[in-house]
Chains A and B, each alone.
Chain A
Amino acid sequence: MTSATAPVATHSVHNRLLFNRLGLWLFFVSEVFMFGGLLVMRFHLWGNTRPDLDQQLGLIVTSILLVSSFFMNRAEVAAKHDDRNNFLVSLALTGILGLLFLVGVIGFEWRGHVRPMDGYYGSVLYTMTGLHALHVLSGILFILVIWINGRKGRYSSQNYWGVEACAIYWHFVDVVWVFFYPALYLIGTLK
């Protein structure tokens, strides 16, 4: 039985993984339209100007998100090689850095002198950072679920799709910030 069905089973597992990956990337396509729309809104309303935001804070939160992506990649590699301790530690560090990013944006940037009611500067800033922060928050919840499952030993080198999906989602959130950071903090002259 095994000799006849094994190739079929392998093929089925491969197809499932392929469809899982395709489904996730199709979700990203829909997300790109939404975040792309926000970028278009920023350039339409702000043009070649930008508000006076805290440059150091922008650089710090960007660096935090980049380092979190590094640890997420480390967690994925560890899961792929059955390195459970490294997986759990790296994943936890990713979540903590994600929380620090949220503290930086919501706790500090949102308490700056640009307020939501400050015309289109405030509207654009809070819409873009708010929607991105919501994705970071959902990423942290995703990480928490994967971390709990990982502690229970649900992932192995043969089955770590949950970890892979979580990692790709987290990196996608990072990619969005790669475009949002210059758009909000760097491009254009001060208003």
Chain B
Amino acid sequence: MNSKEKKSTAYLRGLVTLIVLAALTAGEFWVSSVTNGSLVFLSIIALIKAAIILQYFMHISHLWSEETHS
């Protein structure tokens, strides 16, 4: 994969991440209205959203990797 393709893939991954996060946010808004603010369901959705941000935006898995700025 050349640099241009890598860049396009990375941009696309960011867009997909945003769409998933937006869907989950809409989902938690809906869950709040139908479950009368359920702590369990809303906490699970928040944890999933945080995990997605940590993995795809904050690159937590790169913390111990050998990857350098190249």
Contacts and interface: CB of A to CB of B under 8 A. Distances in A.
Interface of A: 10, 13-14, 17, 21-22, 25, 48, 50, 55, 59, 62-63, 66-67, 69-70, 72-74, 77-78, 80-81, 83, 157-161, 164, 167-168, 171-172, 174-175, 178-179, 181-182, 185-189
Given A66-B22, A77-B14, A182 B53 contact: no
Contact of B14 (A21, A48, A70, A159): A70
17 contacts: A25-B60, A25-B63, A63-B22, A66-B18, A73-B14, A73-B57, A74-B11, A158-B69, A168-B58, A168-B59, A171-B58, A179-B50, A181-B46, A186-B31, A187-B39, A187-B43, A188-B39
A142 to B, nearest CB: 15
A178 B53 contact: yes
B27 to A, nearest CB: 11
Contacts of B28: 182, 186
Contacts of A73: 14, 17, 56-57
B37 A50 contact: yes
B57 A69 contact: yes
A77 B37 contact: no
Interface residues of B, number: 39
Contacts of B38: 187
Contacts of A171: 53, 57-58
Q: Which 8 A-B pairs have the closest CB atoms?
A: A186-B32, A70-B18, A73-B14, A77-B10, A81-B7, A182-B42, A171-B57, A188-B37
